[in-house]
Chains A and B, each alone.
Chain A
């Protein structure tokens, strides 16, 4: 099993450009998440999904859109990138929180995005 994978690993954008980050998991998890990590601020939740075809806003959703067309994939889109979106982006997946034994989140390796 590959676990949680993210594509790409690094990317440099110019202000105003758009891009999509892809997250894939092969553990048949229902839940998937996108976080951003900035120095001194821990991980903050951008958007999440509790199942195929569903999405919900997290703590810092502005400037991002997501889609979950297939259970194993969760896409994060930046329509018009801004320097404030320079960050490391992590995807994660898990079983339902109500699965008391298996509800921990598994993380991908991260994507370092720089917006100039």
Chain B
């Protein structure tokens, strides 16, 4: 069965600095998708970035980028130039065969 592990329950970063959130997953599949979702205090789940496993190039969305290491089954999220509005829970998720499997989340605090 596929699993997703986020080993950092909490992280903190100073405004304008860079932070990296870790995610590892386990699967025997070769074709799948990986996502990072953000959940602010409003509880709304917001898609941050997605990566297709068959693409070697790391995805980038403005200040958000990923480091996708397929062989190591690692999918970390880098947030550059952190802003106060980035404070939230961040969930890594694996998608294959109709189901989205989430990690337990990392709470990110951003200090001014």
Contacts and interface: CB of A to CB of B under 8 A. Distances in A.
Contacts of A107: 37, 44-45
Interface size class of B (residues with CB under 8 A): 20 to 34
Nearest to A112: B43
Interface string B29-63: 00001010100001111010010100000000000
A42 B91 contact: yes
A104 B47 contact: yes
Contact of A58 (B47, B96, B99): B99
A50 interface: yes
A91 to B, nearest CB: 10
B84 interface: no
Interface residues of A, number: 24
Contact of B100 (A33, A50, A56, A110): A33
Interface string A30-64: 01010000001111110010100000101000000
Given A42-B91, A42-B102, A48-B98, A103 B33 contact: yes
Nearest to B103: A42
B45 to A, nearest CB: 4
Given A88-B43, A103-B33, A104-B35, 19 more contacts: A33-B100, A41-B104, A42-B91, A42-B102, A42-B103, A42-B104, A42-B105, A43-B45, A45-B101, A48-B98, A92-B45, A97-B95, A97-B97, A100-B52, A103-B95, A104-B47, A107-B37, A107-B45, A109-B44
